[in-house]
Amino acid sequence: MLDVRRIRTDYDAVAAALARRGENLAPLEALRALDERQRELAAERDVVRGRVNQLSKEVGLLRRDGRADEAEALQVESRELGAREQVLDADTAAVASEIRQLLLRIPNTPSPDAPDGAGEDDNVVVTVEDFDPDGYGAHQRVPHWDIGSELGILDLERGAKISGSMFVLFRGMGATLQRALCQLALDRNSDLFEEIRPPSLVLSSTLTATGQLPKFADDAYHLERDDLWAIPTAEVPLTSVAMDEILDEDELPRRLMAYSPCFRREAGSAGRDTRGLLRVHEFDKVELLAYATPDQAPALLEEILARAVGLVRELGLPHRILDICTGDLSQSHYRSFDVEVFSPGVDRWLEVSSVSWFSDYQARRANIRYRPAGAKRTEMVHTLNGSALAVPRIWAALVETHRQPDGSVQLPEALWPYLRGATSIGPADR
């Protein structure tokens, strides 16, 4: 969330930054008014508290001197002021709670380097690699759900029978392929990123720290009996690994990675992109995350983006990078890039990685600080993350792109060490 002190001291700049996102500024104005009210209440409370403390000392002196009547009179005043202090303290706390609730809903201010725009149509294509729209044969223009059914490696019907619509079941080499993709992503990033296997269920405070709550509660799976949430991405638990901690500057940057299943209700999808693997309720993903100082963050953003692109390149998939415009940034994002691959069977670009810098927005929610070398005061860390590899859409684009005229799928060499000797998938591999 934003720093309320920044809103207090530099309101116009914050308002201008949020206006670049197309945000309604009414919540920000309401927050400024509440902040002023809280400070007024706190100041009055502190004056009253000071007078109560002073009276307490005076009462003690009067009793010591045997002036009981005067002491009793002051005690009456002290009790009245004490009651007033309690009211003011409760009012101050109530306003502080309102401020926090507003701060949890106000999005991050975008980076000055983020391109301006109203929505996804204004995202900027930075690079396009290995894409020839006329270079695909008819055998590659088959959607992955048909390929998967034909080869016996994707069973959408039984997935739905077991768990309902938008849940999928991989079979045989299809299951092996999805596992191999995750292992490849972990191995390619193990040089610098510490592997974590986080819990798949988290507390509300953990989901709040990354910005999913309260705004995106409808899109998450909530286990009400235990008040736990199924994670929509490993970013959620990874961000909170250092919750309420103070890191030393020489520990930064700290790089973490995790494989996890991810769960999303996809509320509001209303049948859009729900066929095959384009939009599902559960999928596997390898996530990269870093804690950094503000000065380290720009280079880390480039590093994580390069790692995501490198994996797509190894898999032989045409791809492009989008610089996300202000109007399409998610709530927590300060700067963001999407990596998309072209999927010829569905004839469209599919987002397979979002690489993002959150400035101190998430760290302020999670209370993650660092102590600069030689400094007495602590500062908020900056957090960054990126999907090293998300299985469903990569899987879809891979089987469509690498489908051969005979109906088999040639598998990229980078995956061979994880496929038990297989280099392709044919009808016999079902």
Q: Cα(348)–Cα(342) distance, rounded to whole angstroms?
A: 6
Q: Is the pLDDT of residue 121 over 90?
A: yes
Please state, in angstroms and rounded to a whole number, the distance separating the CA atoms of residues 370 and 40: 31
| C-beta of residue 272 within 8 angstroms of C-beta of residue 279 | yes
What's the rounded Cα separation, in Å, for the pair 239 and 385?
9
Rounded CA separation 399/419 (Å): 15
The residues spanned by each domain of the chain are: 4-105, 120-429
Decide whether 4-105 matches 120-429 in CATH topology.
no
Q: Which amino acid makes up residue 195?
A: E
Segment holding 202, helix H or strand E: strand 201-202
267 pLDDT exceeds 80?
A: no
Lowest-pLDDT range of 49-63, 298-312, 378-392: 49-63
**Sheet order of strands, 246-248 included:** 246-248, 369-371, 379-380
Rounded mean pLDDT, 270-275: 68
Sign of CA dihedral 42, 47, 50, 51: negative
Residue pair 187/213 in contact (Cβ under 8 Å)? The answer is no
First CA to last CA distance, the chain: 49
How far is the C-alpha of 308 from the C-alpha of 339, rounded, in Å? 8
CA distances from 430 to 147, 168, 173 (A): 12, 16, 7
Pick the CATH number of 120-429 from 3.40.50.10420, 3.30.930.10, 3.40.710.10, 3.30.70.260: 3.30.930.10
pLDDT at position 268 is 62
Whole-number pLDDT of residue 24: 95
Q: How many residues would you count in the chain?
A: 430
pLDDT for residue 170: 97
- % of the chain surpassing 70 pLDDT: 98
As a whole number of angstroms, the distance between CA 185 and CA 312 comes to 10
3-class secondary structure, 421: coil
Choice between 215 and 289, residue whose per-residue pLDDT is larger: 289
Domain 4-105 falls in which CATH fold? Answer: Helix Hairpins (1.10.287)
H or E element: which one contains 98?
helix 68-105
* Strand order across the 254-263 sheet: 124-129, 319-323, 335-343, 348-357, 382-390, 282-292, 254-263, 194-196
Angle at 215 between CA 37 and CA 96, to 5 degrees: 20
What pTM did the predictor assign? 0.93
Mean pLDDT (whole number) for 88-116: 97
pLDDT digits (tens, 9 = 90+) for 30-51: 999 999 999 999 999 999 999 9
pLDDT value at residue 429: 55
Q: If pLDDT is split at 50, 70 and 90, which confidence band does 132 have?
A: very high
- With cut-offs at 50, 70 and 90, classify the pLDDT of residue 428: low
Contact 99/4 with Cβ under 8 angstroms? Answer: yes
Residue 256: is its pLDDT beyond 80?
yes
pLDDT at 79 over 70: yes
What is the DSSP secondary-structure string of 223-277?
ETTTTEEE-SSTHHHHHGGGTT-EEEGGG-SEEEEEEEEEE---TT-TTTT-STT
Q: What percent of the chain has pLDDT over 90?
A: 90
- Return the residue matching tokens 């759900």: 145
Amino acid identity of residue 317, one-letter, is L
pLDDT for res 291: 98
Residue 168: helix, strand or coil by DSSP?
A: coil
Look at strands 124-129 and 335-343 and give their pairing: unpaired
Q: Write out the H or E segment, with its range, that includes residue 54.
A: helix 26-64
pLDDT at 378 (0 to 100): 97
Q: Is the pLDDT of residue 270 over 60?
A: no
Both tokens of 367, joined, read: 């209370």
pLDDT at residue 182 is higher than 60: yes
- Give the per-residue pLDDT at 54: 93
Distance between CA atoms of 421 and 415, rounded to whole angstroms?
Answer: 10
pLDDT tens digits for 311-329? 999 999 999 999 999 999 9
Under DSSP, is residue 126 helix (H, G, I), strand (E, B) or coil?
Answer: strand
**Per-residue model confidence (pLDDT) at position 66:** 87
Looking at residue 237, what is its pLDDT?
Answer: 97
DSSP annotation of 333 reads -
Q: What's residue 69's pLDDT?
A: 87
**Amino acid code (one letter) for 174:** G
The candidate with the shortest Cα–Cα distance to 28, out of 18, 40, 38, is 18
What's phi and psi for 258, nearest 5 deg? -155, 140
Asked which of 52-66, 200-214, 352-366, 375-389 is least confident by mean pLDDT, the reply is 52-66
Position 269 pLDDT exceeds 80:
no
Position 294 scores a pLDDT of: 98
Output DSSP code: residue 121. Answer: G
Distance of alpha carbon 83 from alpha carbon 273, whole angstroms: 60
Per the prediction, the chain carries an average pLDDT of 95
